[in-house]
Structure 1
Amino acid sequence: MHALIVVAHHDPRSLTHALAQAVGNGIIQANPADTFEIADLATEGFDPRFSFADHAVHHREASPPADVLAEQARIERAAALVLVYPIYWWSMPALLKGWIDRVFSNGWAFDFRLGESFSQQLRHLRVHLLAVGGADADSFQRHGYDQAMVTQIEHGIFDYCGARVVSSERLLESETVDPKTHLDTAQAIGQRLFSTTDETARVGAEVECA
């Protein structure tokens, strides 16, 4: 089994990057035969800007640009997609949102054509969300930010495409809590990453890799 771990943070020394690596370490600890790849969007220089070329893709007038095709291929090689990101203004960073805007395109993540039935294209995809925030849980609940993130990210993005969000964790108080606490949580997520993947997905991945 193979996981794609996408991390969106400009600083490779950040807790966000350490959490992504901890997830990967947990995957290998659970089963050395499993593999993972970390997609570091900032270091790799992914352009998150939705351009005229992306607009043409949405209207089915052109094929996706090469950088988008490369990201889609990465996802297609994975049995699980893990997004690790800091919470900016109660959502994900612009870099990660732009990655989704461009990569989860019409014709690949979903199929929309005027006058035809809408189709979800990512029903096979299993998603894990790991968000890092400085506020406490009470702040998220009291102001409704927690439900807002569920609505816009889990439902608005992944449910729309048919992908299944298997786990969603917010690691909060990141500037005051001992980092080891969150790193242990991330490692545990990695250890159980494929145990939470349903059997049909595991069998499909094994056949594909055979």
Structure 2
Amino acid sequence: MHALIVVAHPDPKSLTHSVVAHVAEGLSLSGPGNSFEIADLSAEAFDPRFSATDIAVHLRQTPISADIAAEQARIDRADALVLVYPVYWWSMPGLLKGWIDRVFTNGWAYDEGPDTKPAKKLRHLKVHLVAIGGANLRTYARHGYFGAMKTQIDHGIFDYCGARVVTSELLLPSETQDMSSHLDTARAIGRNLFDASGQRLMANVA
């Protein structure tokens, strides 16, 4: 089994990158036949700008560009997609959102036309979301932020394409919790990624 881990953070020394490393460590311990690839969008200088060409792709007026075809091929090779990102303004960073905007194209992630109902094309893909927030759990719960994020990301993006969100993890600071527990959680996500009994939601729900 193969996983694609996508990370969107410009600082390789950040907690986000540490979480990625521990997810990868868990994956390396999960079984001899399992493998992974890390897509560091910042280091790879992925262009998140949704251009006129991307609009033409959406309208089926032009074929996708080589860079987007390469990203889609990465996902096609994967049995699981893992997104690790910091929470910016109660959502994912613009770099990661732009990656989704440009890569999850009409005709590949879903089929949609003026006279047809949308068809989900990523039903085979299992998705694991690991968000790292700066506010505490009380703040997220009081304002309903976690529920809003699940609605816009888990449902609004991945359910629309048919992909199943297996893990939706929100790692937050706590007065009684140091960051090592978050790294342990990340390692457990990687270790259980392809476990038949681990195809379950491991979310910390507010």
Aligned to 2:21: 21
- Cα 1:157–1:35, aligned 2, differ >3 Å: closer, same or farther? same
> How far does residue 173 in structure 1 lie from its aligned partner after superposition?
1.2
Cα distance in 1 for residues equivalent to 2:69 and 2:24: 24
1:39 is paired with a residue whose SS is: strand
Give the match's secondary structure for 1:166. strand
Larger helix share, 1 or 2: 1
Deviates more, 1:116-125 or 1:167-176: 167-176
1:102 aligns to 2:102 (yes or no): yes
Deviation at 1:116, TM superposition (A): 1.9
Match of 2:152 in 1: 152
Q: Secondary structure at the match of 2:165?
A: strand
Question: What CA distance in whole angstroms lies between the structure 2 residues aligned with 1:151 and 1:144?
Answer: 11
Name stretches of at least 5 consecutive residues in structure 2 with no aligned partner.
201-206
State the 1:177 CA deviation.
4.5
Cα distance change of structure 1 residues 188 and 18 upon mapping to structure 2, 3 Å threshold: same
Cα separation, 2, equivalents of 1:197 and 1:153: 19
Aligned to 1:187: 187
The alignment partner of 1:189 has SS state of: helix
Partner SS for 2:38 = strand
Alpha-carbon displacement from aligned partner over 1:123-160 (angstroms, at most 9, x marks no partner): 11100000001111111111011110011000000000
1-side partners of 2:140 and 2:148: how far apart? 9
1:120 corresponds in structure 2 to 120
- For the aligned residue pairs, the C-alpha RMSD in angstroms reads 1.5
- Displacement of 1:180 in angstroms is 1.2
| Total equivalences in the alignment | 198
Identity between Structure 1 and Structure 2 (%): 63
Moved over 4 A (4+): 174-177
Q: What SS does the aligned partner of 2:155 have?
A: helix
Could you tell me how far apart the structure 2 residues matched to 1:47 and 1:31 are? Answer: 34
Moved more, 177-186 or 75-84: 177-186
In structure 1, C-alpha distance between the alignment counterparts of 2:185 and 2:84, rounded to whole Å: 13
Please state whether the residue corresponding to 1:38 is helix, strand or coil.
strand
Structure 2 length-normalised TM: 0.93
TM-score (norm 1): 0.91
What is the CA distance between 1:6 and its match in structure 2? 0.1
Matches within 5 A, 1:170-185: 170-173=170-173, 177-185=177-185
> What amino acid maps onto 1:161 in structure 2?
C
Unaligned runs of at least 5 residues, structure 1: 199-210
- Distance in 1, Cα, partners of 2:28 & 2:174: 25
| Residues 85 and 92, structure 2, Cα contact 8 Å, conserved in 1 | yes
Shift in alpha-carbon separation, 1:175–1:113, aligned structure 2, 3 A: farther
Given that 2:137 and 2:174 are in contact with CA atoms closer than 8 Å, whether structure 1 keeps it comes out as no
Matched, 1:168 2:168: yes
Aligned mates of 2:16, 2:107 — CA distance in 1? 31
Output the CA distance in 2 between the equivalents of 1:175 and 1:10.
27
